[in-house]
């Protein structure tokens, strides 16, 4: 497996030039977050990624986790790496200093998250979920819950989990059967939860489970679900750990990938019932849990970017070293490195540009998240949240799909060696595959996008996004494109196709939602490609300006931005009009076929 090196240059460029860090750094809470500090943090994150986490990636995949008498043993070196991770403060980056956090932007946290996930996705799942649980409690927990749990969770001494689904429920959370019974000021929780990442681990002193359960007198369906904090060890009034709660991991799943991450089947209340503490009000659990779920959806999208970057780095290194066949059209008889062959170049450029586009999209949304939380003007906060709400399902689904596609293409670049586990390439595909499934499958993300974000919204939010792109094109007329004309033309056609598909959804959703749902996934792909292409186009124009100004640094990196925008336009944006046609006309065959006809 090729050594991992954090893409600090591209992260810095994206944060500063595309994701809005210049605006964010003007807020009072972030005025100390200077470009030098950002670069220093990314450099240090790169070191822990390349020197500590990445070397454990393959060995952890091979060794996996073991469950012995209810105790999980993580692979060799992981526990020590986690201790180093939390001792250096990485777990608490975006959280309030009063709970021990560093008060840094989510934008910077997302960039560091990419480095951690690329270095070792199995490892990175633990802080990913803890950060989501912290945000949930910070937003919806009582003062007592916050003071009891947040300091140790922010520090990473305790980790957090998300307990949603059950054997009979899947993604249909309205069907969950886990019960909660009132017991004075607390509740007794009984039931089984599945697919609980880090539900049991030897990393931390305590595990704080966020558990969805239903009271006996609750309304039916999704509106009758409550949310509870259920700790592995109960916490005494003085903050020390008390006795073991009535919960345990009964088994670990045998998975396709992320072998070093323990995915547990959790049993609550085999004896007297696990003690749980209500978050917020009864029967509002789904509402509260969406805070954690949306946090996780953004970070899962970052996982897709991370695995794509890791797979691209490995494929690029292999293509430079692997010598095979003469160069096409050359009179020379000797074989050349496969990176000289046109089809390999095409694959590498596909991997490179889709990774860059997904990274730009994820960080753009993370930047808007910071603005939505910290801008002093309510109208500006609301405007920024419009982008967060619209694009979060796109970040999750489009970026995780790209992670799978790029990892799969990385195997192809390796040829026969890519099918051999020792090459390291298969692990990236195996690890990436889950990201399209958890936190709501990508089909669920697409249905949410076309239903709630486009159909019910009457296209207002996507119209704002589209207008940003049209304004960009108006500011960069074809006469001023100067070498980037094709990028402008392809982007204009793509955003026009997006407008056409969006209007059809608005016109159709209220009367024929199933017709819209049939094209939901192609629509999400269309929106991802268009916004991703816009961000790459912005990057190209900015890079060209810096090159003409004689910017110091790496001109090859800036030149690469021009190439990325052009390749993405020619090979990815060019499919936008076909995707729009699929959205508008593709429902016909889906409607016509009956389930018995398969």
* Domain extent listing, the chain: 8-155, 159-286, 441-598
Please return the burial class of 55, using the count of CB atoms within 10 Å of its CB with bins 0-12, 13-18 and 19+. Answer: middle
Helix, strand, coil shares of the chain, percent, nearest 5, are 65, 15, 25
pTM: 0.96
Compute the residue count for the chain: 598
Residue 477 has pLDDT above 80, yes or no: no
Note whether 8-155 and 159-286 share their fold.
no
Close Cβ partners of 407 (under 8 Å, ≥ 6 residues apart): 307, 308, 311, 425, 428, 429, 431, 432
Say if residues 229 and 279 touch (Cβ distance below 8 Å): yes
Lowest-confidence range among 356-360, 438-442, 482-486, 554-558?
A: 482-486
pLDDT band at 524 (very low <50, low <70, confident <90, very high): very high
Say if residues 454 and 527 touch (Cβ distance below 8 Å): no
Residue 67 tokens read as: 């469950």
List, for residues 370-394, the tens digit of each pLDDT value: 999 999 999 999 999 999 999 999 9
Instruction: Read off the pLDDT of each residue in 256-260 and give the average, rounded to a whole number.
Output: 98
**Catalytic residue numbers, as ranges:** 439
pLDDT band at 331 (very low <50, low <70, confident <90, very high): confident
* Nearest-angstrom CA–CA distance, 32 and 250: 47
* Nearest-angstrom CA–CA distance, 578 and 571: 13
Lowest-confidence range among 62-71, 87-96, 166-175, 477-486?
A: 477-486
Q: Write down the pLDDT at residue 174.
A: 80
pLDDT band at 326 (very low <50, low <70, confident <90, very high): confident
Q: Write down the pLDDT at residue 179.
A: 97
Percent of the chain with pLDDT over 90: 92
Q: What is the CATH number of domain 159-286?
A: 2.40.110.20
Which DSSP symbol is given to 324? E
Lowest-confidence range among 86-100, 309-323, 540-554?
A: 540-554
Angle (CA) 532 534 539, round 5°? 95
Which DSSP symbol is given to 4? P
**In whole numbers, what is the pLDDT of the chain averaged over residues?**
96
Q: Write down the pLDDT at residue 478.
A: 62
Provide the terminal-to-terminal Cα distance of the chain, rounded to the nearest Å. 42
List, for residues 198-230, the tens digit of each pLDDT value: 999 999 999 999 999 999 999 998 999 999 999
Please return the burial class of 565, using the count of CB atoms within 10 Å of its CB with bins 0-12, 13-18 and 19+. Answer: buried
Nearest CA-CA partner of 579 in 509, 515, 524, 510: 524
Topology of the domain covering 8-155: Butyryl-Coa Dehydrogenase, subunit A; domain 1 (1.10.540)
Q: Write down the pLDDT at residue 394.
A: 98
Q: Write down the pLDDT at residue 450.
A: 98
Nearest CA-CA partner of 121 in 492, 433, 575, 529: 433
* Nearest-angstrom CA–CA distance, 483 and 487: 9
Lowest-confidence range among 42-51, 168-177, 247-256, 577-586?
A: 168-177
Close Cβ partners of 404 (under 8 Å, ≥ 6 residues apart): 304, 429, 432, 433, 435, 436
List, for residues 418-457, the tens digit of each pLDDT value: 999 999 999 999 999 999 999 999 999 999 999 999 999 9
């Amino acid at each position: 497996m090729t050594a991992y090196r954090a893409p600090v240059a591209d992260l810095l460029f994206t944060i500063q030039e595309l994701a809005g860090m210049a605006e964010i750094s003007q807020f009072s809470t972030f005025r100390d977050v200077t470009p030098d500090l950002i670069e220093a943090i990314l450099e240090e994150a790169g070191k822990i990624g390349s020197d500590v986490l990445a070397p454990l990636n393959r060995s952890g995949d091979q060794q996996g986790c073991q469950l012995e008498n209810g105790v999980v043993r993580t692979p060799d070196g992981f526990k020590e790496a986690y201790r180093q991770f939390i001792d250096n403060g990485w777990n608490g980056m975006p959280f309030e200093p009063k709970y021990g956090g560093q008060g840094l932007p989510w934008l910077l946290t997302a960039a560091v998250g990419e480095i951690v996930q690329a270095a070792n996705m199995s490892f990175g799942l633990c802080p990913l979920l803890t950060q989501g649980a912290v945000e949930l409690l910070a937003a919806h927990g009582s003062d007592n819950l916050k003071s009891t749990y947040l300091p140790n969770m922010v520090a990473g001494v305790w980790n957090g989990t998300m307990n949603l689904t059950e054997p009979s429920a899947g993604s249909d959370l309205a069907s969950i059967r886990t019960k909660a019974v009132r017991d004075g000021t607390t509740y007794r929780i009984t039931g089984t939860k599945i697919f609980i990442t880090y539900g049991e681990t030897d990393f931390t002193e305590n595990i704080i489970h966020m558990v969805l359960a239903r009271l006996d007198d609750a309304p039916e369906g999704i509106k009758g679900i409550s949310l509870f904090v259920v700790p592995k060890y109960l916490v005494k009034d003085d903050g020390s750990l008390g006795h073991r709660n009535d919960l345990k991991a009964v088994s670990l799943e045998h998975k396709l990938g992320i072998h070093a991450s323990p995915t547990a089947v959790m049993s609550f209340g085999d004896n007297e019932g696990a003690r749980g503490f209500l978050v917020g009000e009864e029967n509002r659990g789904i509402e509260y849990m969406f805070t954690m779920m949306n946090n996780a959806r953004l970070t899962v999208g970052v996982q897709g970017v991370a695995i794509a970057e890791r797979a691209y780095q490995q494929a690029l290194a292999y293509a430079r070293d692997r010598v095979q066949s003469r160069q096409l059209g050359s009179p020379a008889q000797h074989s050349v490195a496969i990176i000289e062959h046109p089809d390999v170049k095409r694959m590498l450029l596909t991997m490179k540009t889709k990774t860059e586009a997904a990274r730009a999209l994820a960080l753009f949304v993370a930047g808007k998240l910071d603005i939505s939380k910290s801008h002093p003007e309510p109208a500006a906060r609301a405007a920024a949240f419009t982008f967060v709400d619209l694009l979060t399902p796109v970040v999750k689904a489009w970026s995780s799909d790209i992670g799978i596609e790029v990892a799969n293409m990385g195997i192809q670049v390796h040829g026969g060696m890519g099918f051999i586990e020792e090459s390291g390439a298969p692990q990236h595909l195996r690890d990436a595959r889950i990201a399209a499934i958890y936190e709501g499958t990508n089909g669920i993300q697409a249905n949410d996008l076309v239903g709630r974000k486009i159909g019910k919204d009457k296209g207002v939010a996507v119209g704002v996004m589209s207008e940003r792109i049209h304004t960009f094109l108006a500011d960069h007329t074809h006469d001023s494109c100067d070498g980037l004309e094709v990028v402008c033309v392809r982007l204009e056609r793509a955003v026009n196709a997006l407008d056409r598909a969006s209007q059809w959804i608005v016109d159709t959703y209220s009367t024929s939602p199933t017709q819209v749902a049939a094209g939901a996934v192609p629509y999400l792909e269309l929106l991802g490609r268009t916004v991703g292409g816009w961000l790459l186009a912005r990057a190209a124009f900015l890079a060209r300006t810096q090159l003409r100004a004689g910017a110091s640094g790496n001109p090859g990196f800036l030149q690469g931005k021009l190439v990325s925008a052009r390749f993405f336009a020619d090979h990815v944006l060019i499919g936008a009009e076909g995707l729009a046609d699929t959205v508008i006309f593709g429902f016909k065959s889906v409607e016509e076929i009956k389930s018995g006809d398969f």
